[in-house]
Structure 1
């Protein structure tokens, strides 16, 4: 948790090769993941945006996974 990853790195790690498409594709996938795991997608605790960099995994502190509680 806490280490930011660029969009390019996330795509490369997920696909295992360089992707010639749009970097914003990862934003759509992140949004879909947030809808599935975050209680409040406007204040995410698990997948956090690092403006100008990409994303990082948060500790989830203050958040509950959907289905918990």
Structure 2
């Protein structure tokens, strides 16, 4: 497709596509905290709990970059 291999398209989607999705999810969590008037501690808890799943994906990306896989 457009001169790109399947591997290149997948790599682009897994880095920029999922990265953009993670940023959008952080925006949603922030909007949720704002609309619920959670306060500073409540906002912190929302970000820690709801964004905790993203840490694994980011850690996987950092580890593979560090090891050069």
Question: Normalising to structure 1: TM-score of the pair?
Answer: 0.32
Greater Cα radius of gyration, structure 1 or 2: 2
